[in-house]
Amino acid sequence: MPKRSRFLEWVDARTGVPSSLDRTASEQLRGGAGLRYVFGSALAGAFLIQLITGLLLMASYVPSSSHAWGSVWYINNELDFGWLIRGLHHFGSSAVVILLALHLVQTIVLAAYRAPREFTWWLGLLMMFAVLGLALTGYLLPWDQKGYWATRVATNIAGTTPVIGPVVQRVLVGGVEYGNQTLTRMYALHVGLLPMLIVLGLIGHWTLARRHGLTGRDRPGRTDSYWPFQVFYNLLAITVVLGILLAIVWVNHGVTLEAPADPSGTDYPARPEWYFLPLYQLLNEFDSDTEIIGTMVIPGAIVTVLFLLPVLDRLLPRRLVHFGACALIFGVLGGAGALMTKAILADKNDAAFLLARLEADRQRDRANALADAAGLPPEGAGYLMARDPLSRGMALLEANCLSCHVYGGQGKVQSQVAQPTPEQLEASDPSRLGTLSGALPEQVLRMVAFALPDDIQAESASTDLGEHGETLYRVEGRNAQDERVVAETAEGDAHVVVSTFSNQSACDLKGFGTRDWLRGLLEDPSSPAYFGTVPQCSGMAEWKAGSELSAEQLDEVADFFAEHVIPYREGLSAASWELQFAEAEEPPPGYTHFMNECANCHLWGLGGADGTGVDSPNIYGWGSPTWIRRMIEEPGARDLYGYLAEHEQMPGFAGQLTDEDLDVIVRLLRGEFLPPVGVLEGPDEEEMPELIADQQDGD
Amino acid sequence: MNRRDWFRLGAIGLKGLIGLVLAVPGAAYLLSPLRKRREDTTDFRRLARLGDLEIGRPRSFSIVDEQRDAWVTYPATPIGTVWLVRQPEGAEQPVLALSAECPHLACKIKLAGDGNGFVCPCHASNFTLDGSRVKAISPRGMDTLEVAPIDPNDPNAEVRVKFQRFRTGTEEKIPLA
Ligand code: FES
């Protein structure tokens, strides 16, 4: 026994801690120290890493549904090594789960649950639940799509527990709706209750383990003391764990952060963390009426048997129980592995999942780019996407406008994935594709015939070479509404993607309300980008046919609009606005051309049928947000397109869109948004920095 | 060195390694605010026209700017106030710009009742119209701000000021970046 200082003697006399440490240090390990004893310590070490990184994350995290996402984004992107700390914490949870499984297996194989170690075993099992609880609660905290949807699923599973389920769910969620209270409750569990339980459990578990000594087969030969021999191996194991974690975090550049939680979104492909995948798949194995077998009965039975092991050990033949326990644990692990593989393979072959995943990736990148460019709005991360013309605005445009209009030449594309079962494939009739029947392999034809709706007239088929050298098949046709329909599949795929393209019957909205759009209209009104597909707006084409304005003069008209019409001032009447040009000694040239050629139809501030047989909308303030909003809400107003017959007018959207939605649409049309990533290298590189700057001080 | 010593050294080494691998990024993470500097976006801002200012009668102007609080960007709000003092003709600089943030403990400096100086209401600090101290409560006089060159004869000339904050409680004027 080493000599202690007087101070330590003093402490020891009062607490006994130093001598108990000494006793541990000098504990004798028959058969020598070695890696076979490290699992418990490695697990404790991994948990310690979680405690440290978790505490660091707490220093910057906010448990609020508006700001959790932003704070995690900030940790990930702005704080030094934040990505590393968060990455360690994220992947560290996997390390804890893996080491837990190893420790559990080793304990069972060595039959260390036997007397006198019952309490060590039970305490260990309880801590295992606390660890799984930590993993579940931690998943939600970033309040991104992934955590949000996975937690909805998890809490709903809790809700299916007989009798107490609904109450438990409501208490966990903090009400019926998921929000601030859900987050604060999960947070309290994650950083308070559960870690505290584990720390207490660890102290007990460890004390008991010291009391009973390490379990291991006695080997002849060397006997080592705990310090420094076993301590060295333990630390070595922890170092290896930490090294592997660092490597994983490094290779992955930390952990990604999905787009902020969007409770109104529907198609987020929610999946739990990998170690919960077996449970997730087990759930999928059962129909809804027997679902409880997968969610409660099977896991519950396994857990009960584990808890009862020390008791069974007394009641039944010990060797039999041990054999049974080993069979059970390897069976469970094997089964879990099989379920996990099944879940992963199922996703890999599920085209709908892959499409949803692609969309989720796109949203994630967009959210990150937006946060990067201008930070988060004060109202929170939920508004990051809701105020983004390219996200929310595009979704609104697709839902409301693109069945007639196009944006950048693109109309509405509805994609569907068809994945026929072998029987359905057998039953499908390739002869409906008529003359194409010979062009493609039988199997592909059957799939396409299955995927395409009945009203399709197939027109052409083609094959192409894909990125990885696989053959791509494509069948085009038209449906009863004469919309273009394209079915695509690739060699070896079990699914067909069917896209329906809307027919354009109105102008291209990209850039509407800008000088460029107007200039294009003045150049060629009958292009499909303008009124080429809108026969009721043929007036502009008629004007063009007889117009004498040169290209420069048209430029001047466009300049006049950009300088004086689009920057519309609320509350200024058309008449008083026009005075400044009408009375000017030298009116802007664009104004003069306008008066000569356009004012016959377009009188400032007036519109509709004027009795002269020339009908036109009022274009005072054209292109301004106010004008565009009015056009969206009441296109049939007397001064706009009220002169058209009702069935020729654009349908009005008054009362259907909120102010924020209108705003985001207007900005989408006028191109006032952060350009998507990748566009920056595009041709008009020069305009982009300005756009970003506009966006930043715009609102 | 026997086997025991090797293991002892190894254990100590590993412990140190683990500690270091966690402590270094952890410390860097916690100390990020020290390293993180706001990029110097302070530009000259237009506050008034020369003709708006009368000689010897200070006027205050708000500085409006977007505020960034960690990950949140707040829309433009007033973030500070500047006193502009038109100097008598022939002065080297036609306009003097003084930050209204008191160099003592950052209270907001007001114009004195008689209009012939400034007072800070918090600890009764007085300053003259050129910003220098009357009492030695504040460690230094009011902070002058940089003014873009102005043509003294053009009443329509823009008065443009670079707004900056300085550390309080120090004799020296140290910009907060
Ligand atoms: S803060 Fe101004 S005098 Fe103290």
| Domain edge (last residue) among A324, A349, A374 | A349
* A51: contact with B, CB 8 A cutoff: no
- Residue B151: exposure state from Cβ atoms within 10 A (0-12, 13-18, ≥19): exposed
Q: Do B106 and B145 fall into the same domain?
A: yes
Please say if the pLDDT value at position B31 is more than 70: yes
Is B139 a member of any domain?
Answer: yes
CATH number for the domain harbouring residue A69: 1.20.810.10
Cβ <8 Å between B17 and A67: no
Q: What domain range includes position A8?
A: 1-25
Q: Which residues on B lie below 8 Å from A228 (Cβ)?
A: 4, 7-8, 10-11
Query: In A455-525, where does DSSP find H-type helix?
Result: 515-523
Is A463 a member of any domain?
Answer: yes
Note the pLDDT of residue A162: 80
Note the pLDDT of residue A191: 96
Cis check: omega of the bond before A195, within 30 degrees of 0: no
Between CA A270 and CA A267 the distance in angstroms is 9
Cβ <8 Å between A235 and B66: no
Residue A680: Cβ within 10 Å count: 12
Q: Do B27 and B98 fall into the same domain?
A: no
Q: Do A495 and A528 fall into the same domain?
A: no
Q: In what order do the strands lie in the sheet with B117-120?
A: B110-111, B117-120, B125-128
> Average pLDDT, stretch A658-670?
93
Note the pLDDT of residue A311: 92
Please say if the pLDDT value at position A438 is more than 80: no
Is B172 a member of any domain?
Answer: no
Q: Do A294 and A261 fall into the same domain?
A: no
Note the pLDDT of residue A242: 96
Cβ <8 Å between A228 and B68: no
Q: Do B157 and B73 fall into the same domain?
A: yes
CA distances (Å), origin A94, targets A46, A50, A98, A120, A303: 10, 11, 6, 23, 21
Query: Residue type at B142?
Result: M
Q: Do A491 and A527 fall into the same domain?
A: no
Closest CA–CA distance from residue B42 to any residue of chain A (Å): 15
Q: Do B54 and B140 fall into the same domain?
A: yes
B53-58: list long-range contacts, CB under 8 Å, 24+ apart. Answer: B53/B84, B53/B85, B53/B86, B53/B95, B53/B159, B54/B86, B55/B86, B55/B87, B55/B88, B55/B89, B56/B85, B56/B86, B56/B88, B56/B129, B57/B86, B57/B115, B58/B83, B58/B84, B58/B85, B58/B98, B58/B111, B58/B115, B58/B118, B58/B129
Q: What's the pLDDT band for A698 if we cut at 50, 70, 90?
A: very low
Is A187 a member of any domain?
Answer: yes
CA-closest candidate to residue A227, choices A425, A373, A456, A28: A28
Q: Which of A466-470, A617-621, B76-80 has the lowest mean pLDDT?
A: A466-470
CA-closest candidate to residue A510, choices A679, A694, A671: A671
Residue A579: Cβ within 10 Å count: 11
Note the pLDDT of residue A678: 57
- The DSSP output letter for A561 is I
Between CA A46 and CA A54 the distance in angstroms is 12
In chain B, the number of structural domains is: 2
Is A676 a member of any domain?
Answer: no
Between CA B161 and CA B44 the distance in angstroms is 5
Q: Do A81 and A21 fall into the same domain?
A: no
Q: What's the pLDDT band for A518 if we cut at 50, 70, 90?
A: very high
Q: Do A496 and A430 fall into the same domain?
A: yes
pLDDT digits 0-9 by tens, A533-543: 888 888 888 88
pLDDT digits 0-9 by tens, A70-128: 999 999 999 999 999 999 999 999 999 999 999 999 999 988 898 888 999 999 999 99
Q: What's the pLDDT band for A44 if we cut at 50, 70, 90?
A: very high
Q: Do A215 and A135 fall into the same domain?
A: yes
pLDDT digits 0-9 by tens, A640-651: 888 888 888 899
CA-closest candidate to residue B143, choices B164, B122, B160, B128: B164
Is A542 a member of any domain?
Answer: yes
Q: Which residues on A lie below 8 Å from B8 (Cβ)?
A: 227-228, 232
- In short, whether B167's Cβ falls inside 6 Å of ligand 1 is no
B127-130: list long-range contacts, CB under 8 Å, 24+ apart. Answer: B129/B56, B129/B58, B129/B85, B130/B85, B130/B96
Q: Do B88 and B144 fall into the same domain?
A: yes
> Average pLDDT, stretch A230-249?
94
Closest CA–CA distance from residue A38 to any residue of chain B (Å): 14
Q: Do A112 and A154 fall into the same domain?
A: yes
Q: Do B53 and B11 fall into the same domain?
A: no
Q: Which residues on A lie below 8 Å from B73 (Cβ)?
A: 374-378, 696
Is A382 a member of any domain?
Answer: no
Between CA A135 and CA A133 the distance in angstroms is 5
- In short, whether B168's Cβ falls inside 6 Å of ligand 1 is no
Cβ <8 Å between A232 and B76: no
Q: What's the pLDDT band for A463 if we cut at 50, 70, 90?
A: confident
Note the pLDDT of residue A690: 40
Q: Do A540 and A580 fall into the same domain?
A: yes
Note the pLDDT of residue A554: 93
Is B151 a member of any domain?
Answer: yes
Note the pLDDT of residue B36: 60
Size of interface A-B (CB pairs under 8 A): 96
Of residues B161 and B91, more confidence is placed in B161
Note the pLDDT of residue A437: 67
Is B6 a member of any domain?
Answer: yes
Note the pLDDT of residue A143: 95
Instruction: Give DSSP secondary structure letters for A179-238.
Output: SHHHHHHHHHIIIIIHHHHHHHHHHHHHHHHHHH-------SS-EEEIIIIIHHHHHHHH
Q: Find out whether A37 and A233 touch, Cβ atoms under 8 Å.
A: yes
Between CA A695 and CA A674 the distance in angstroms is 7
Note the pLDDT of residue A212: 82
Q: Do B55 and B21 fall into the same domain?
A: no
Is B169 a member of any domain?
Answer: no
Cβ <8 Å between A82 and B36: no
- The DSSP output letter for A630 is H
Q: What's the pLDDT band for A411 if we cut at 50, 70, 90?
A: confident
Cβ <8 Å between B32 and A80: yes
Is B173 a member of any domain?
Answer: no
Note the pLDDT of residue A559: 93
> Average pLDDT, stretch A366-385?
91
Q: What's the pLDDT band for A668 if we cut at 50, 70, 90?
A: very high
Is B29 a member of any domain?
Answer: yes
Please say if the pLDDT value at position A608 is more than 80: no
Please say if the pLDDT value at position A685 is more than 80: no
Between CA B146 and CA A417 the distance in angstroms is 64
Q: Do A150 and A246 fall into the same domain?
A: yes
Query: From the alpha carbon of B120, which atom of ligand 1 is closest?
Result: 2
Q: Which residues on B lie below 8 Å from A78 (Cβ)?
A: 32, 36, 70-71
> Average pLDDT, stretch A201-227?
78
Q: Do A127 and A149 fall into the same domain?
A: yes
- Residues 6+ positions from A266 with CB-CB distance below 8 Å: none
Please say if the pLDDT value at position B127 is more than 50: yes
Q: What's the pLDDT band for B144 if we cut at 50, 70, 90?
A: very high
Question: Tokens for A195?
Answer: 């870690």
Is B81 a member of any domain?
Answer: yes
CA-closest candidate to residue B111, choices B93, B94, B98, B95: B98
Q: What domain range includes position B14?
A: 1-36
Question: Tokens for A293?
Answer: 């077998």
Q: Which residues on B lie below 8 Å from A53 (Cβ)?
A: 22, 26
> Average pLDDT, stretch B60-64?
88
Q: How far is the CA of B60 from the centre of ligand 1 (A)?
A: 18
Percent of chain A with pLDDT over 70: 94
Q: Do B21 and B54 fall into the same domain?
A: no
Q: Do B3 and B52 fall into the same domain?
A: no
CA-closest candidate to residue A629, choices A656, A665, A674: A665
Is A543 a member of any domain?
Answer: yes
Closest CA–CA distance from residue A541 to any residue of chain B (Å): 44
Note the pLDDT of residue A613: 58
pLDDT digits 0-9 by tens, A259-314: 999 988 778 888 888 999 998 888 888 887 888 888 888 989 999 999 999 999 99
Between CA A696 and CA A690 the distance in angstroms is 10
Q: Count the alpha carbons within 13 Å of A233 in the hemisphere toward its beta carbon.
A: 16
Between CA A334 and CA A200 the distance in angstroms is 32
> Average pLDDT, stretch A134-146?
94
Torsion, Cα A691 A694 A698 A699, to 10 degrees, reads 60
Which residue owns the Cα nearest ligand 1 atom 1? B105
Cβ <8 Å between B66 and A697: yes
Q: Do B4 and B71 fall into the same domain?
A: no
Q: Which of A97-101, A464-468, B167-171 has the lowest mean pLDDT?
A: A464-468
Note the pLDDT of residue A683: 37
Is A398 a member of any domain?
Answer: no
CA distances (Å), origin A328, targets A119, A207, A306, A644, B118: 21, 28, 9, 77, 84
* 3-class SS of residue A503: coil
Is A365 a member of any domain?
Answer: no
* 3-class SS of residue A358: helix
Please say if the pLDDT value at position A51 is more than 70: yes
* B14: contact with A, CB 8 A cutoff: yes
Interface predicted TM-score of the whole assembly (ipTM), two decimals: 0.79
> Average pLDDT, stretch B105-126?
89
Please say if the pLDDT value at position A159 is more than 50: yes
In chain A, the number of structural domains is: 5
pTM of the entire predicted model: 0.82
- In short, whether B104's Cβ falls inside 6 Å of ligand 1 is yes
Percent of chain A with pLDDT over 90: 46
Q: Do B77 and B153 fall into the same domain?
A: yes
Please say if the pLDDT value at position A680 is more than 50: no
Q: Do B155 and B90 fall into the same domain?
A: yes
Q: How far is the CA of A491 from the centre of ligand 1 (A)?
A: 78
| Domain edge (last residue) among A453, A469, A501 | A501
Of residues A437 and A378, more confidence is placed in A378
Q: Do A50 and A192 fall into the same domain?
A: yes
Please say if the pLDDT value at position A238 is more than 70: yes
Q: Do A80 and A198 fall into the same domain?
A: yes
Please say if the pLDDT value at position B116 is more than 70: yes
CATH number for the domain harbouring residue B97: 2.102.10.10
Please say if the pLDDT value at position A684 is more than 50: no
